[in-house]
Amino acid sequence: MLSAAPFHAELADGPEGARAFWATTPDGLRLRVAHYPGPEDAIGTVLLFPGRTEYVEKYGRVARDFADRGYHVVSVDWRGQGLADRMLEDRRTGHVHLFRDYQQDVMAVMAAVNELGLPKPLFLHGHSMGGCIALRAAIEGLPVAACAFTAPMWGIRIAAPVRPAAWALGWSSARMGWDHLYAPSTGPDSYTATGTFEGNLLTTSREGWDYMRRQVHEAPELQLGGPSLRWVHQALGECLSLARLPAPAMPCITFLGSNERIVDAARIETRMAGWPGGRLEMIQGAEHEVLMEDAVTRGRIVSQMAEVFARGAESAGAHAISA
């Protein structure tokens, strides 16, 4: 059963009427789910799965672009971030017990969509870590007609000589009871709250950077620091597991900045090359957060997603008629 949750509408800058709700996962955690309304004659609803450290307000402008193109949007604060239940006493640590636990969060999102009576068909957009969660959900039968990804975390960019050490550190930290500690070179500081625009890994747009920075400064409870050793180990394992599985049979488009420095671009290229009917679009000069680049770039990406979603809707309708 959903109940009203706090929502920073001004910081989100999304379509009018956006609301947030508390939702409960099957294992009893409290998440925050946001509904960004679309038009009355909406084409359907986009399930927007955000990345690590993110929160529902971050995608207000993206939701407004989707609403202008005929879609409702539902997003979520994953366990351990945003206003959802945090996983450790140190609330700034990005932590998860098992990566598969995020699929329980997906179940909570689906329950919220059904309780709110949002229009179908459903479509899926996953960014970064959300792209990893989304791919697993799609492979395992999430009822969506098409999907889109931005810089999906289908691999983590780690220098080849260091990768074996990252795996070994994950195993040893679990045995020693250290897996709650921050991963090397990270700590409790929020990247956007404490970093500078110059040389950042997220966006080349000053406006996009200021939008994100304002959100975490004016609502510091949204801030998250680095990942725990356990999160890193679990994420590496999930990426490896997904790489062995075939793509789901649905239309797909994926966007990647040409200056991507956070996720493994080669894994994305390999996945999309093997996705029947899938397409990879490179955004020249862009960093990790392609939807936090300038408004023209964001609008172009959302329009291309909407085109793929429309094809998925047509295909879903044809299958329903034939059935």
Q: Kindly report the CATH number assigned to the domain that includes residue 172.
A: 3.40.50.1820
pLDDT of residue 164: 63
Alpha carbon distance 246, 60 (integer Å): 32
Q: Structural domain of residue 80, as residue ranges?
A: 3-322
Cβ-proximal residues to 159 (8 Å cutoff; 6+ apart), any chain: none
Mean per-residue pLDDT for 242-252? 97
Alpha carbon distance 50, 184 (integer Å): 24
Q: What is the 3-state secondary structure (H, E, C) of 171-231?
A: HHHHHHCCCCCECCCCCCCCHHHHCCCCCCCCCCCHHHHHHHHHHHHHCHHHCCCCEEHHH
Alpha carbon distance 199, 251 (integer Å): 35
pLDDT of residue 315: 76
If one counts the domains in the chain, the total is 1
Alpha carbon distance 113, 129 (integer Å): 21
Q: Is the pLDDT of residue 161 over 60?
A: no
- Measured CA distances, 204 to 51, 93, 223, 320 (Å): 18, 27, 21, 43
Round to the nearest angstrom and report the end-to-end CA distance of the chain. Answer: 33
Q: Is the pLDDT of residue 289 over 50?
A: yes
What's the half-sphere exposure (Cβ side, CA atoms, 13 Å) at 52?
25
Mean per-residue pLDDT for 118-134? 98
Mean per-residue pLDDT for 267-285? 97
Length of the chain: 323
Cβ distance 88 to 228 under 8 Å?
yes
Structure-model confidence comparison of residues 175 and 134, the more confident one: 134
Pairing verdict, β 278-283 and 44-49? unpaired
pLDDT of residue 320: 45
pLDDT of residue 165: 59
Q: Is the pLDDT of residue 252 over 50?
A: yes
Question: What's the predicted TM-score (pTM) here?
Answer: 0.95
Mean per-residue pLDDT for 167-184? 76
Mean per-residue pLDDT for 236-245? 97
pLDDT category of residue 317 using cuts at 50, 70 and 90: low
Give the model confidence (pLDDT) of 34-70 as tens digits: 999 999 999 999 999 999 999 999 999 999 999 999 9
Mean per-residue pLDDT for 218-235? 96
φ and ψ at residue 257, rounded to 5 degrees:
-70, 140
Mean per-residue pLDDT for 194-199? 97
Cα Rg of the chain, angstroms: 18
Cβ distance 251 to 312 under 8 Å?
yes
Give the model confidence (pLDDT) of 91-123 as tens digits: 999 999 999 999 999 999 999 999 999 999 999
Alpha carbon distance 135, 129 (integer Å): 10
Residue carrying structure tokens 């960004």: 36
